[in-house]
């Protein structure tokens, strides 16, 4: 059986890295690029100087700035930022049987998870979610990586996708829990901002370790309220991704938190960045959804305060002053104080 034709929609760092990984065995991969001049650079110089300058790209990656060119692909990986997924899919005229979602976030305008956005736009496709501890530059360099591949089409879809996506250094693990895979990726982005704040304030490794553990508890509570499986959140797309992005300045969300901890203005930081720190978009809607479902998420709420302009030390003092409780019991949902 011939390998399916594969396309990647979105040529940011992560989309470019995925295209590079998929082309590592000599396969032809189509890469949709928003900017025509960047598509030309990828095709002629085999570089992406804007988003992934460290990688020498495979010559079998063919870039295009015309979404219609993806119509012939049997499998598409959608890697546009979460807040632009609906718009991008709305511009597509046809969809393949298999769509793999690779962006991590929650649609800020609606509170929808990415698989809900995709299912509404492409009801005839089977949706999968690829998520896990993945720094783009390491995947592009061929370093060993393991991910969760949650398949809405169950094991039959997994059999199609695993053989198409797996490479010697890129190992997917099967799940059928789309919600769990997406909750892990979305919540960890917000928690990574919080861990960056700890770094920016110089609060030490003890504080960061505690924040990761307590943040993971928030992720579990929220995920279970939405129907996610606890085992999914304990895996690569939950705990694994959380540990990675809360520990390195290679994480855009972590580096945003560092800047916030150092007292920089959140609005100015967002204006100056050409790469997306998705946690900044996810935090406000995550706070709303947590309150809607009656889930206590004080760390996530604190990130929301920071992004609204609250001083970092004030926010940290507020969270340290919360009522004492058992480790496996969340504190009562607090009133949200005015900034």
| Residues labelled catalytic | 188
Rounded CA separation 227/177 (Å): 9
Is 295 in contact with 225 (CB distance < 8 Å)?
Answer: yes
Work out the end-to-end distance of the chain between its first and last CA atoms, rounded to an integer number of angstroms: 60
The answer for residues whose C-beta is within 8 angstroms of residue 234's C-beta and 6 or more apart is none
The answer for residues whose C-beta is within 8 angstroms of residue 213's C-beta and 6 or more apart is none
Rounded CA separation 183/241 (Å): 11
Is 300 in contact with 187 (CB distance < 8 Å)?
Answer: yes
Kindly state the greatest CA–CA separation across the chain.
62
C-alpha atoms less than 13 angstroms from C-alpha of 2 in its C-beta half-sphere: 6
Q: Which residue has the tokens 């995550």?
A: 286
Rounded CA separation 265/306 (Å): 9
What six digits make up the tokens of 31?
Answer: 């890469």
Looking only at the bridges linking them, the beta strands covering 75-78 and 61-64 are unpaired
Residue 128 main-chain phi, psi, to 5 deg? -130, 160
Q: Shortest CA distance to 244 belongs to which of 146, 335, 310?
A: 146
């Amino acid at each position: 059986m011939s390998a399916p034709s594969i396309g990647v929609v979105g040529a940011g760092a992560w989309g470019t890295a995925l295209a590079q990984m998929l082309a590592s065995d000599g396969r032809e991969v189509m890469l949709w690029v928003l900017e025509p001049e960047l598509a030309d650079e990828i095709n002629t110089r085999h570089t992406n100087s804007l988003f992934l300058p460290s990688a020498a790209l495979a010559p079998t990656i063919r870039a295009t700035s015309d979404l219609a060119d993806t119509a012939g692909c049997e499998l598409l990986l959608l890697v546009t930022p979460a807040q632009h997924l609906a718009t991008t899919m709305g511009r597509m005229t046809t969809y393949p049987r298999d769509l793999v979602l690779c962006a991590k976030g929650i649609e800020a305008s609606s509170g929808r998870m990415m698989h809900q956005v995709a299912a509404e736009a492409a009801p005839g496709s089977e949706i999968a979610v690829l998520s896990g501890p993945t720094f783009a530059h390491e995947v592009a360099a061929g370093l060993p990586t393991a991910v969760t591949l949650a398949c809405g089409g169950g094991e039959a879809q997994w059999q199609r996708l695993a053989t198409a996506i797996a490479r010697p250094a890129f190992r997917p693990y099967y799940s059928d829990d789309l919600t769990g895979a997406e909750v892990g990726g979305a919540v960890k982005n917000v928690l990574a901002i919080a861990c960056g704040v700890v770094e920016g304030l110089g609060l030490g490794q003890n504080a960061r370790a505690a924040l990761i553990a307590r943040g993971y508890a928030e992720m579990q509570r929220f995920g279970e309220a939405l129907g996610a499986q606890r085992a999914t959140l304990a895996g690569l797309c939950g705990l694994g991704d959380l540990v990675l992005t809360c520990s390195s300045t290679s994480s855009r969300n972590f580096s945003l938190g560092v800047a916030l901890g150092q007292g920089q203005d959140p609005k100015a930081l967002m204006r100056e960045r050409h790469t997306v720190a998705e946690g900044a978009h996810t935090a406000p809607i995550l706070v709303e959804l947590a309150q809607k479902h009656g889930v206590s998420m004080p760390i996530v709420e604190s990130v929301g305060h920071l992004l609204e302009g609250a001083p970092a030390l004030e926010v940290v003092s507020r969270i340290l002053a919360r009522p004492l409780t058992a480790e496996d019991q969340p504190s009562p949902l607090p009133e949200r104080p005015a900034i």
